[in-house]
Amino acid sequence: MTETTRTLPLVMAAPRGRAKPPRHLADLSAEERVAAAKEMGEPPFRVKQVAHHYFARLERDPAAMTDLPARNRDAIAGALLPELLTPVRVQEADQGTTRKTLWRLFDGALVESVLMRYSERATICVSSQAGCGMACPFCATGQGGLQRNMSTAEIVDQVVDGAAAMARGEVAGGPGRLSNVVFMGMGEPLANYKAVVGAVRRMTSPAPDGLGMSARNITVSTVGLVPRIRQLTEEGIPITLALSLHAPDDELRDELVPINTRFDVAETVEAAWQYAKKTKRRVSIEYAMMRDINDQAWRADLLGDVLNSYGDWGWVHVNLIPLNEVPGSRFTRSRDADTDEFVRRLQAKGISTTVRDTRGDEIDAACGQLAAQE
């Protein structure tokens, strides 16, 4: 890949005039489930049976759904659970505890998800768009532009696949439970707001309507689409919000996160603070450490002051991400000494700060490396 300085249009809506992904159980509201049963000439509880298999048992093979009438098992399951994601390639790293899957969608679009198992939790990093329109110059996904929004079910199905892999013991460490979801794969989740919130609702609804996960264990990461952050604040779901800040000053952030020219640092951090205030959830500030770009000690001080200007009641946590170097990019990873000093200065201002571990580095599965080249 060569270095690109393209100025992409900041496309906020899905491109028009394309076929939609097939309708799937995970896309349906309660009323739509009843209608779907009717369409198939089946009683409403059939849909509930299939939902139990999919969300509670993580089972999608019709042959295993022995409580469905044998004669139309395939038809019922096929209508409600069309294949949305076809695995193209699976790569493992970190002794089999990190697993990246490249998926082909119904229309040929490619996306990736990454499953990471830790001692006390297992997290899946999911994609919410094929490509991304935000054009952050240090991010691999940002270099290819946006192809399209993903549907609710396309997002949920990545999570169901990860949960099934954990349950079946396919990930090193034996059978376990998928506990966390982060929207840090490909795409800008808040630019696909409706499908993302729908997916969060499917993940948090108790079975058989959903996966019964805790909203607190779901993190939505955003470049800072301020009106959408405000909308999410009113949504009343206690998910964790992560804001990709990467710079405390507009001059630099305009360059690193181009949407900053529309919503500046002050407005963006203010929206994040309102989110924390309303939901009582601590906001996570993402800051990818780029050598001699945004990692100066004075910027750490400025970041601390900007965040503290909204209150020092622990509303925020700073997550420093060692930059994952994208081939051909002019952005490189900060020196360890500079990262240590950055941490020290933020902590000196009373701000909770950690440095993220770099899982999946060698299979290009780390943050910002997902590009789905094939």
| Binding-site ranges for ligand SAH (CB under 6 A) | 134, 136, 138-139, 184, 188, 221-223, 244, 286, 288, 321, 323-324, 326, 367-368
Shortest Å, Cβ 41 to ligand SAH: 43
Phi and psi angles of residue 321, each rounded to the nearest 5 degrees, phi first: -105, 115
**Nearest residue (CB) to ligand SAH, 55 versus 342:** 342
Q: Measured between alpha carbons, how far is 190 from 242 in angstroms, rounded to an integer?
A: 11
Other Cβ atoms less than 10 A from the Cβ of 255: the count is 17
**Nearest residue (CB) to ligand SAH, 204 versus 221:** 221
Q: Measured between alpha carbons, how far is 253 from 259 in angstroms, rounded to an integer?
A: 9
| Sign, Cα dihedral of 10, 16, 22, 28 | positive
Phi and psi angles of residue 179, each rounded to the nearest 5 degrees, phi first: -110, -30
Pairing of strands 218-222, 316-322: unpaired
Catalytic residue list contains 367: yes
Shortest Å, Cβ 67 to ligand SAH: 40
Q: Which residue is nearest to ligand SAH (CB)?
A: 368
- Check if the beta carbon of residue 117 is closer than 8 Å to that of residue 176: yes
Q: Measured between alpha carbons, how far is 274 from 258 in angstroms, rounded to an integer?
A: 23
Shortest Å, Cβ 148 to ligand SAH: 15
Shortest Å, Cβ 251 to ligand SAH: 18
- Check if the beta carbon of residue 302 is closer than 8 Å to that of residue 266: no
What tokens were used for 289?
A: 């450490």
CA distances from residue 362 to 118, 140, 145 in whole angstroms, order as listed: 17, 15, 24
Closest by Cα among 17, 29, 23 to 197: 29
Shortest Å, Cβ 52 to ligand SAH: 32
Other Cβ atoms less than 10 A from the Cβ of 184: the count is 23
Shortest Å, Cβ 147 to ligand SAH: 15
Catalytic residue list contains 112: yes
Q: Which of 42, 112, 188, 286 is catalytic?
A: 112
Closest by Cα among 187, 195, 161 to 109: 187
**Nearest residue (CB) to ligand SAH, 53 versus 148:** 148
**Nearest residue (CB) to ligand SAH, 199 versus 321:** 321
**Nearest residue (CB) to ligand SAH, 47 versus 367:** 367
Q: Which of 125, 132, 139, 367 is catalytic?
A: 367
- Check if the beta carbon of residue 192 is closer than 8 Å to that of residue 149: yes
**Nearest residue (CB) to ligand SAH, 222 versus 268:** 222
> Which residues have a catalytic role annotated?
112, 367
